[in-house]
Copies of this chain bind each other. A is one copy, B any other.
Amino acid sequence: MTATRPSHPRRSQAERSAATRTRVLDATVASLLEKGHAATTLAEVQQRAGLARGTLLHHFPTRAALMVAVVEEVAARRLGVLGERAGAEARASAHERTGPQTGPQTDTRTDPRTGWDAAVDLVQADLADPVFLAVLELWVAARTDPDLRSVLGPVERRVFATVHATVAGVVGDEDPRVATLVQFTVDLLTGAAMTRLVDPSGSAQARVVERWRRALPVLLGRADADTWL
């Protein structure tokens, strides 16, 4: 049988289906970013994905189903990227500074580079990613949309838990203060990220993050309260 003819790369149904599915989800996230949740209509998504209307509703029978799928997809991506970055960080710290791969802005002259620096980078990288804005759209929409709400609650709780566990793994969790400090860091950077909605330049945001990075050792008792500013 001429099943696997290389000249004609006829994909199987499963492959085709998965491909268009991801195309739809990518298009939806992009629309969420550019147009927001309310303006992310089926027509908009269909046009971006380059599909026909019926195709869209074949994969996702309703708009709500599409949004639910986006929530799960985005959460999975975020956690995947997070784990990837954490793994890279773990390998880098295992090699104990073989080379300045990540290269933060300024050479940290006092301390080589604590696990907390990596932790802050980890959280900040997640929140600075444009996809966070898409997540924000979904959060706010979920507040008044029961369908979204019912699925977004559990998903985001899992995300939070995984983020905490991952970050705690980077800094080491023997200290009882770690959990609270991770929470501080996540909340503080989240709040700072909100500033981007009002001030898109993000200059104030960067300054706050940098100062928080220097304040953390004080709360751990590794630095004096007079030195962090």
Contacts and interface: CB of A to CB of B under 8 A. Distances in A.
Contact count band on A = 35 or more
Interface string A176-192: 11001001101111111
Nearest to A211: B180
15 contacts: A34-B144, A38-B141, A139-B198, A140-B140, A180-B208, A180-B211, A180-B229, A184-B208, A184-B211, A184-B215, A187-B195, A190-B191, A190-B194, A221-B224, A221-B225
B137 A140 contact: yes
Interface string A11-55: 000000000000000000000001111110000000000000000
A24 B219 CA distance: 48
A157 interface: yes
B229 A225 contact: no
A116 to B, nearest CB: 14
Given A187-B188, A218-B225, A228-B219, A197 B157 contact: no
A208 B183 contact: yes
A97 interface: no
Contact of A186 (B139, B140, B191): B191
A199 interface: yes
Given A139-B197, A191-B193, A221-B225, 10 more contacts: A36-B141, A38-B141, A133-B143, A153-B198, A156-B198, A183-B211, A184-B208, A187-B189, A189-B191, A218-B219
